[in-house]
Amino acid sequence: MATSKVFVDCNEALKGVVADNQLIAVGGFGLCGIPENLIVALRESGVKNLTVASNNAGIDDWGLGLLLQTRQIRKMISSYVGENAEFERQFMGGELELEFTPQGTLAERLRAGGAGIPAFYTRTGLGTVVAEGKPHEVFDGETFVLERAIRADVALVKAWKGDRFGNLIYRKTARNFNPMVATCGKICIAEVEQLVETGELDGDQIHTPGIFVDRIVQTASVKRIEQRTVRSRK
The string of pLDDT tens digits covering residues 148-194 is 999 999 999 999 999 999 999 999 999 999 999 999 999 999 999 99
Please, are residues 48 and 71 in contact by the beta-carbon 8 Å criterion?
Answer: yes
Please, are residues 167 and 93 in contact by the beta-carbon 8 Å criterion?
Answer: no
d(CA 44, CA 126): 40
Q: DSSP for the chain?
A: -PPP-EESSHHHHHTTT--TT-EEEE--BTTBT--HHHHHHHHHHT--SEEEE-S---BTTBTTHHHHHTT-EEEEEES--TT-HHHHHHHHTTSSEEEE--HHHHHHHHHHHHHT--EEEE-TTTTSGGGTTS-EEEETTEEEEEEE---EEEEEEEEEEEETT--EE--GGGGTTHHHHHHHEEEEEEEEEEEE-TT-S-GGG-SB-GGG-SEEEE-------S--------
Chain centroid, CA 73 distance in Å: 14
Confidence of residue 74 (pLDDT cuts 50, 70, 90): very high
- In the chain, the domains with their CATH numbers are 6-118+149-218 (3.40.1080.10)
Please, are residues 27 and 177 in contact by the beta-carbon 8 Å criterion?
Answer: yes
Confidence of residue 73 (pLDDT cuts 50, 70, 90): very high
d(CA 157, CA 135): 32
The string of pLDDT tens digits covering residues 199-233 is 999 999 999 999 999 999 999 987 777 777 788 77
Task: Look up the pTM and report it.
Answer: 0.94
